Structure 1
Amino acid sequence: MSIRIQTEDFDLSAELDRLRSDHRDIGAVVSFVGTVRDVNDDDGILSMELEHYPGMTEAALEEIESRARQRWDILDSIIIHRVGVLKPADQIVLVAVASRHRGEAFRACEYMIDALKTQAPFWKKEQTAKGGVRWVKAKDSDESALKKW
């Protein structure tokens, strides 16, 4: 298990290689990469600033990963979440799961990203093309996605 909060970008290929390097019994690796969109509610986005609560954020991510391990046969996982100022198309988050079987990996990865969206203490502030700054509010659809688990 690897959980990191960082300002620097990550290399998806290198992270997936690292995930697989210690396991010969992996049959599937499933990953999700979230990126900054250039539009939200029809407003152009110039940048997004992400903040977190150090210590509390890592603990929340560890709990999410632990719950996934209890439900699915996970051999290893990675959660990387960036903070700081990001531009459109920048990578924000990586959730990757390794398992013996693809179904387990898919379900665990989807659960982890759904839980992260609603249970990890991150705050997002957008700078719009119109010159405004706004905090990104939680979406009802994110809460609904988590309820299915």
Structure 2
Amino acid sequence: MTERALYAALAPSPQTSAYLKAVCRTWPDHLWAQVSVVCEEKESSEMARLRESFWEGAGEVEGTTSLDESVDMDAEELEEEEWEKEVVGSLESLADIPVEDGPPANNPYYISQLNIILDRMDSLLDAFAEGLQNGSYDPSSPESVISN
């Protein structure tokens, strides 16, 4: 199992993610694994697209555009939106992932980190301000739990 996890860490992908996630013990481990898989998958798909477009466009004259290119641009934008939704969904799943070692997923630091990664600073600051107003934070305890 450890050897498979090592190979999965060297070549993260959706196919190897089960082995990688099986050895994740802390929330940062899970975050690293999720981001590694998502980034590697995107990198692989973009490299494949570059190879295809390089060989397909070899005979074209520079500066010419076609109707097919505008359709391709719309398809690329749609694909990019779908990818972003998938990434956001996979990262949101980290909000309540069970961990074996260290603080739980609802640790204020991890909640803040996840909201920063997801570019949700406004909602993070609003939740914090609301918590301060209603007195749900203990000023003497840095470990008081932030609720989303």
> Normalising by the residue count of structure 1, what TM-score does the alignment of the two structures yield?
0.29
Larger RCO: 1 or 2 (CA < 8 Å, sep 6+): 1
**Which protein has the bigger strand share?**
1
> Normalising by the residue count of structure 2, what TM-score does the alignment of the two structures yield?
0.30
